[in-house]
Amino acid sequence: MEKALYTILSNELIADKTFRMRLAGPTGSLKRAGQFVDVAIDGFYLRRPLAAQEWDSDSLAVIYKVVGEGTAIMSEMAPGQSLELLCGLGNGFDADACRKSALIACGGLGASPVFSLAKELLEAGKKVCVVMGFNTAADAVLVDEFKAMGADVHLATMDGSLGIKGFVTDAIKAVQPEFDYFYTCGPAPMMKAVCQSLEGPGEASLEERMGCGCGICYGCTCHTASGPKRVCADGPVFKKEDIIW
C-alpha cells in the first residue's frame, strides 16, 4: 500500500452519471487486477474506495458513478487538481486460477476492476468470454474496449436497449460459454445468482462499506466459510466456496 498525492490528468463523462478519472502518481503497489484505491476528499472524514480500472508505471484510471456527495465533488474536479490516494489496497483477482478459458460476468461498474484482469488473461494466451449486464444502454461502459482487446463480449440490459433483455445470468444461459474458471464483479444479487448458477470454480469481488480501507478498523468484516474476513484486506475477492450469501 502507498499513500501519495495524485494529479488529475483527465476526468471525462463516459456514461450516465459515470466518469473516468485518470491520475498521475505512483502505481508500484498495484500488483493485481481487482485491487482498489481509497480516495480522500476534502471535508469528508472517510475515504471513498474505487477499483483501479487500469494502470501503467506512473498513472492509473478509476471509473466511478456519482451516487452521493463525495463522488459528486470528484465529478467537478479538473485536470491539474490533486487528490490524496491510498493505492494498492486489497488482494485482487487470481488470474493463475484460470487454466485455458475464463468467463467474466460483470454488472454495471463491476466492469471496471475486471478490465485489467481480461487483459492479463488474454496476454497469457487464455480465452476470455465477458458477459456484461447494465440496466440500460446509457449505463454501458468499456464495451468497445473489451472487444478491442480481443475478448468475446456478450451483453444484457434490463430494458433490452443493448444486447439481450434480462439478467447477466440469462445471457450466460443463452451463450453457454466454455470455461474452466469464472470471475464475477457487480451488484451482490447478480454475483450471488452467478455463483449459485454456475458449476465449477470461480471467485467474486465483494463490496462493503469501508472505514479505514486497509485492515485496521474491522468495519468491513463479512462472514465466510473460513470465519470472519475483512473485505478490504482479506478481499475484496473471495473464492466462490468461501462466500456466504
Ligand X SMILES: Cc1cc2nc3c(=O)[nH]c(=O)nc-3n(C[C@H](O)[C@H](O)[C@H](O)COP(=O)(O)OP(=O)(O)OC[C@H]3O[C@@H](n4cnc5c(N)ncnc54)[C@H](O)[C@@H]3O)c2cc1C
**Which listed range, 90-98, 106-114, 148-156, 230-238, lies at the site for ligand FES (CB under 6 A)?**
230-238
| Whether the Cβ atoms of residue 186 and residue 172 lie closer than 8 Å to each other | no
**Which listed range, 64-72, 90-98, 144-152, 206-214, lies at the site for ligand FES (CB under 6 A)?**
206-214
Binding flag, residue 210, ligand FES (CB under 6 A)? yes
Out of 107, 163, 177, 236, name the contact with ligand X by CB under 6 A: 236
- x-marked contacts with ligand X along 33-52 as a string, rule CB under 6 A: ---x---------x-xxxx-
Out of 14, 72, 124, 217, name the contact with ligand FES by CB under 6 A: 217
User: For residues 60 and 50, what is the distance between their CA atoms, to the nearest angstrom?
Assistant: 12
How are strands ordered across the β-sheet holding 127-134? 164-165, 152-157, 127-134, 101-107, 181-185, 202-205, 237-239
Binding flag, residue 219, ligand FES (CB under 6 A)? yes
Q: Which of 192, 226, 225 is nearest to 206 (CA)?
A: 192
Most distant CA atoms of the chain, gap in Å: 49
Report which secondary-structure segment, H or E, holds 59: strand 59-65
Radius of gyration in angstroms for the set of CA atoms belonging to the chain, rounded to a whole number: 17
Binding flag, residue 232, ligand FES (CB under 6 A)? yes
Binding flag, residue 167, ligand X (CB under 6 A)? no
Binding flag, residue 220, ligand FES (CB under 6 A)? yes
Residue 120 or 208 with smaller CB distance to ligand X: 208
Residue 189, C-beta contacts closer than 8 angstroms, at least 6 positions apart: none
Work out how close the CB of 46 gets to ligand X at its nearest, in angstroms, rounded to a whole number: 4
Helix, strand, coil distribution of the chain in percent, nearest 5: 20, 40, 40
Binding flag, residue 213, ligand FES (CB under 6 A)? yes
Out of 14, 67, 72, 216, name the contact with ligand FES by CB under 6 A: 216
213 binds, among ligand FES, ligand X, none (CB under 5 to 8 A by kind): ligand FES
Interaction residues for ligand X, span 59-78 (CB under 6 A): 62-65, 67-71
Question: What would the grid cell of residue 62 be?
Answer: 478509476
The phi, psi pair for 14, rounded to 5°, reads: -115, -10
Residue numbers of the site for ligand FES (CB under 6 A)? 210-213, 215-220, 230, 232-233
